[in-house]
Homo-oligomer: A and B are copies of this chain.
Amino acid sequence: MEFGIQSSQKIGFSPWWWWWSNAISLVDRLSTRVVEFFRKVKKIGEDDPRRIGHSFKVGLALTVVSVVYYVTPLFDGFGVSTMWAVLTVVVVMEYTVGGTLSKGFNRAFATLLAGALGVAAHQIAIHCGEKGEPILLGLFVFALAAAATFSRFIPEIKARYDYGVTIFILTFSLVAVSSYRVDELVQLAHQRLSTIAIGVATCLCTSIFVCPIWAGEDLHKLVAGNLEKLASFLEGLSAECFAEKGGIENLEGKTFLQAYKSVLNSKPTEDSLANFARWEPSHGRFWFRHPWKQYLKIGALSRQCASSMDALAAYIITTSTKSKTNTDPDLQLRLRAACKEMAAESANTLKELSTAIRTITVPSAAGRHASAAVAAIGKWRDSLSDDTAVPEVLQVATTASLLADLVLRVQKIAGSVDELARLARFKRPEPPVHDAKIKPVADEESPSHLSITLEK
């Protein structure tokens, strides 16, 4: 491009080739973006090919239901109400069978109830004269919409019938309000109900009979998979941290230290899957009224476990970088062996449990591994009881170690809030009367500050 630069200097500002090369680089960047986007999309499809299947199923259901529009005798029966069938398919079709069933039931039931109430409201309102009718109808709509909206704040209703309440408000308002203009209200209601029924039926058939995706099965696999993730953390720990040679060093970046992390935030997914699974009929190895709640309990305990792992991982990472002088290598070795056993046996327990759930078999070997892990706790206490000074102090010392970790985490929060104060331009505090100089403490500063306080 030597030639280019020279000619640009000769010709002056923005020659044609400057625009040209800019345009090429823009196209280049754009095409990289597009390629990246498609790679991402491909990955999403590959991660779970059922997603592609689901997309085709939605397309299929919509195309099937729109046949009602194209076939003249069918259309003449329903008129413009046919629209409601299309609308129903779009909003009711969910990823899992349970989701579709739950939404379909909510929609059907709420439409029936609200439709009946709407017709009743109309019957009352027509007795109030031409001026009174819209006022009374308005009052009804106001009262029912407010009451129904408030009911959504009740947690039980929010979890299971949120969609039903929306449809209830919608249908009641539509029926009550349009009753003012429409004469053949009952015929309209009949048409709407039939078209909604067609929509729901189309969704259910596509959902259940074309490559069904069961929420229950997903929940089952998710819970088993989470146990496996927890196991892989413990396995990594026993292999990498408590090996006889080597030890707890340079752990940052090891993948097993991240294994449990996704378990910590699994609650919303589990809750929604369990909620949908309740609606599903018997399928495969699961029957209707399978104990889905028990999966939620296991999920909650898994999260507690992950929480412990988080504390442990944080502790190990903080202490792994500190140099150690081994004054009692024998005790160290015995402790390490006990730790290794605890971690390995717990990992085996979790793996056994995960396999048991996956294969729907009573867990048999898990009990053995669990008691081996508990036995290792005993061994560890034994190791310490040789040195009489240690065990009494140990409890407070461990608490202190955990607290020390907590202190560091609180420091991180403090740093983050400082950043927020900077970004959101928090106002400065009023200068205090005494104590005029306050030195803000950053993470790096704390050790020096520490030594000052200690020297006093």
Contact = CB atoms under 8 A, between A and B. Distances in A.
B410 A370 contact: yes
Nearest to A144: B59
Given A62-B173, A401-B394, A308 B309 contact: no
A184 B113 CA distance: 35
A31 interface: no
Contacts of A429: 361-362, 364
Interface stretch (A1-9, A250-258, A383-391): A383-391
Given A59-B142, A145-B58, A390-B389, A396 B353 contact: no
Contact of A62 (B142, B349, B367): B142
Contacts of A403: 312, 339, 342-343, 346
Nearest to A58: B149
Interface string A437-453: 01111000111011111
A315 B398 contact: yes
A381 interface: yes
Contact of A439 (B180, B367, B409, B411): B367
A10 interface: no
Interface in A325-347: 325-328, 331-332, 335-336, 338-339, 342-343, 345-346
Contacts of A166: 90-91
Given A417-B357, A453-B375, A332 B382 contact: no
A210 interface: no
A29 interface: no
A248 B321 CA distance: 32
A445 B69 contact: no
State the number of copies, please.
Answer: 2
A374 B407 contact: yes
A304 B297 CA distance: 22
Nearest to A423: B291
Given A58-B149, A374-B441, A380 B404 contact: yes
A324 interface: yes
Contact of A411 (B146, B180, B264, B370): B370
A303 to B, nearest CB: 8
A421 B358 CA distance: 11
Interface stretch (A13-21, A48-56, A99-107, A274-282): A48-56
26 contacts: A41-B150, A55-B145, A59-B141, A59-B149, A62-B173, A63-B141, A69-B178, A80-B178, A87-B174, A268-B268, A311-B312, A312-B402, A342-B403, A346-B410, A350-B413, A361-B421, A366-B414, A366-B417, A368-B438, A370-B410, A373-B411, A374-B441, A377-B407, A378-B449, A378-B450, A398-B402
Contacts of A342: 400, 403-404, 406-407
In the A-B complex, list the 3 residue pairs whose CB atoms are closest, starting with the nearest. A378-B453, A311-B311, A59-B146
A283 interface: no
A350 B410 contact: yes
